[in-house]
Amino acid sequence: MSVDLADVLVRARAFAEPFLSGESLDTGENMLAHADAVVAILDTMNSGDDVKAASYLVYACPHLSRPQEVIAKTFGHEFASLAVETTKLVEVQRISRAASSAAQLQDDPRAQTENVRKMLLAFSKDLRVIMLRLASRLQTLRYFASAKIEVPASLAKESLQVFAPLANRLGIWEIKWELEDLSFRFLEPDTYKNIAKLLHEKRVERESNMLVLREKLQSELAAQNIPAYVQGRPKHIYSIVKKMRGKSLDFSQVFDIRAMRVIVPTVADCYEALSWVHSRFVPIASEFDDYIAKPKSNGYQSLHTVVRDEAGRPIEVQIRTQAMHDHAENGVAAHWAYKEAGAKGYVGVSANSDYDAKIAVLRQLLAWEREMSSEALNASDSVVAEKNTSTEVDGAALFDDRIYVLTPNAAIVELPKGATPIDFAYTVHTNLGHRCRGAKADGVMIPLNTPLQNGQTVEVTTVKEGGPSRDWLNTELGFLVSHRARAKVRAWFNAQIAHENIAKGREAVEKLLQREGKTAIKLEDLASDLGFKSAEALFEMVGKDEFSLRTIEVFLRPPEPVMQADEFLLLKKSRVVPPKSQSGVLVVGVDSLLTQLSKCCRPAPPDLICGFVTRGKGVSIHRADCHQFQGLLAKHGERVIEVRWGLQKPGQTLLYPVEVSVEASDRPGLLRDISEVFAKEKMNVVGVQTRSVKGSAWMTFTVEVADASLLKRVMQIVKSVSGVGLVKRN
């Protein structure tokens, strides 16, 4: 949705006024008055109407049930995102201050660094959040000052330790100085008053002298054909205190209590003006800095010199162009206004587009975060050294464990230290990681196992289709550092294996159904009847050889018919004869009668057995304790006949298949370990069926034995295998 910026500020205020006019912030300030004041501050920072309008929407967010949707519908998605992201950051900082207050406001550099990191990630989504938060915090401090009420120490410390350095890093000097002075005034009121008193005592005389000096300097520069605007530079109390404490100076030794600023048209004029000032006054050589040739890390440019007047009093003189001055006053805002900054642009980065500007600012923020991390690390090491305790604080683990890099769209991505372009790709999107084949860092091609550096812009080259390389999982090759990225690579390969097993299992099951003439059966129904959640789950188990096709075959075949009463033939007793069947079972009183061992209970000597006469298949032999046989006995007791194990010929050994069920906690190598037990006991395993669900495994082993009494000891050994819970004979 497009928004007309011409009236957006008016509409935003009208939208928010019903919500804000009767509400107050935690500080006690009226919300609408606060938002109006923030807009006024943003106006001095050369901010656009879009940022000013957002200041009203930010404070309206908590009063809306669905702020993202409501604001997007009225003002567009861009305004909604800006307002919601700023609101989230406000809440994070409120929680952080509450935690600091509960911790009795200890100067914990770790907490400060973490706060900065949270701010950093919020800013990366929309840099205008910076302007909103700085203006809002400045207005809060102004409110406390005008209302003459006590400021929460946690808020004053956060302003001095986080917000003022942020403004400094981005070169927004006017905001930085006022934040520092107000915060310091609340934190150290006595020191603030003493310095203010010293400044005030000779203020009239100092200002009178400076007025004469400014007029003289401006006229003399004009006489040298150097058009210049000369103004006095206010000296801020906090900067005076910092200089006094940092250099152990007395107030009278601070050189730049008296200061002037000379603004000229061009860089060449800067050096001409400097030459004239040094020829007109006596320079102090140790107090000269050329920030034009070598700008500060935040982009600040100017010539600084300290000279002595006729009376020997020190005067600080700053010489700069109008563009440098605007940048020094408003930093980021001025930079966005001066797109003609040229090839050097902001801190040596081309400023020919909003994208370049954003990259430059984000890199400043990243550098600031790393500096804070380094300071916090040093502070932690000092604390450990002073305490000299046995418990050490691993500062590196706390502060040097992460890096921040930029996407081509200037979004910040947080990564573990040592992360590679592949880690970066997987963090942005899983599919981007799978298809990653090359990478650039700051426009230069780099190997995929190159550790990335803080602040680099990373661009990934991909293929349309494909997957990761197994080399990426080799820790010695150094392709992956992130545990999350490593897990995504493993998941991809596991998925490929699963697809192969499913295809293999599907083919085997479909061939079995064709052989059995059961192609009309629905695969999903078959899987459900066999206890699987889906047909694919069945195919995967079959493909992994963990579910036997024999089980499906038995399930598909109908149960063997039982002979009806009118078809039952009375059997006459006769003399005992040696068995002629391969089962090794003798039917008492019947010669040469066909017998077969029942598959439901798999009898084997010396089990107690009974016979049941079936239709067309002779006598079915069951164990006396077989549940199925007990049912047959109850319904058709007249069909039960006496049987016993026959005598084997000398040198003859008959083997009988028996089934052993095992329940265990699933783990790699479980099937192998159990199979080794049977192998060591010289028992031939002729069939295995396995099934694993949610970490539990069920296995059925079919083994051949000559004597079932030996099986009990082997089952005890199986039970001792790691993970095995229950072992029983079917």
Question: pTM for this one?
Answer: 0.49
Q: 350 - beta bridge partners?
A: none
Please provide residue 406's backbone torsions phi and psi, each rounded to the nearest 5 degrees: -110, 145
Token duo for residue 259:
């200061």
Quote the CA–CA distance of 517 and 522 in Å, as a whole number: 13
What are 505-515's pLDDT values in tens digits? 999 888 888 88
Quote the CA–CA distance of 375 and 377 in Å, as a whole number: 5
Helix (H) or strand (E) holding 241, with range, is helix 237-247
Q: What is the pLDDT of residue 340?
A: 30
Model confidence at 646: pLDDT above 80? no
**At what angle are helices 67-75 and 77-102 packed, to 10 degrees?**
140
Model confidence at 100: pLDDT above 90? no
Helix (H) or strand (E) holding 118, with range, is helix 109-125
Model confidence at 378: pLDDT above 70? no
- For residue 337, what are the CA distances in angstroms to 327, 341, 342, 352, 365? 9, 9, 13, 11, 20
Whether the upstream peptide bond of residue 227 has omega within 30° of 0, thus cis, is no
- CATH of segment(s) 401-481: 3.10.20.30
- CATH of segment(s) 656-729: 3.30.70.260
CA nearest neighbour of 129 among 179, 88, 165? 88
DSSP state of 697: E
Helix (H) or strand (E) holding 444, with range, is strand 444-446
Q: What is the pLDDT of residue 419?
A: 93
Amino acid at 211: L
- For residue 622, what are the CA distances in angstroms to 21, 605, 613, 639? 90, 12, 11, 13
Q: What is the pLDDT of residue 267?
A: 93
List the chain domain ranges: 8-184, 197-330, 401-481, 492-556, 565-645, 656-729
What are 486-501's pLDDT values in tens digits? 999 999 988 888 888 8
Least reliable range by pLDDT among 151-165, 385-399, 486-500, 629-643 = 385-399
Q: What is the pLDDT of residue 688?
A: 86
Q: 693 - beta bridge partners?
A: 696
Quote the CA–CA distance of 664 and 486 in Å, as a whole number: 29
CA nearest neighbour of 27 among 119, 133, 155? 155
User: Per-residue DSSP letters for 77-116?
Assistant: HHHHHHHHHHHHHHHHHHHHHHHHHHTTT---HHHHHHHH
Place of tokens 């304790």: 625
Q: How confident is the model at residue 437 (pLDDT cuts 50, 70, 90)?
A: very high
Higher pLDDT, 201 or 528: 528
Q: How confident is the model at residue 204 (pLDDT cuts 50, 70, 90)?
A: low
Q: What is the pLDDT of residue 385?
A: 46
CA Rg, the chain, in Å? 43
Q: 283 - beta bridge partners?
A: 307
Helix (H, G, I), strand (E, B) or coil at 481: coil
Considering the domain delimited by 197-330, tell me its CATH architecture.
2-Layer Sandwich (3.30)
Give the chain's count of helices (H) and strands (E).
27, 21
Please provide residue 586's backbone torsions phi and psi, each rounded to the nearest 5 degrees: -105, 125
Top-tier CATH class for 8-184? mainly alpha
What are 271-323's pLDDT values in tens digits? 999 998 998 889 988 889 999 999 887 678 999 998 888 777 788 899 999 88
Q: What angle do CA 672, 678, 684 make, to 5 degrees?
A: 110
Q: 657 - beta bridge partners?
A: 704
Mean pLDDT of 162-168: 82
User: Per-residue DSSP letters for 355-401?
Assistant: HHHHHHHHHHHHHHHHHHHHHHHHHHHHHHHHHT-SSPP-HHHHHSS
Token duo for residue 492:
């991809």
CA nearest neighbour of 403 among 96, 111, 120, 108? 120
Distance, first Cα to last Cα, the chain: 71
Q: What is the pLDDT of residue 86?
A: 82
**At what angle are helices 173-187 and 237-247 packed, to 10 degrees?**
70
Q: What is the pLDDT of residue 404?
A: 76
Model confidence at 579: pLDDT above 50? no
Token duo for residue 124:
């990366």
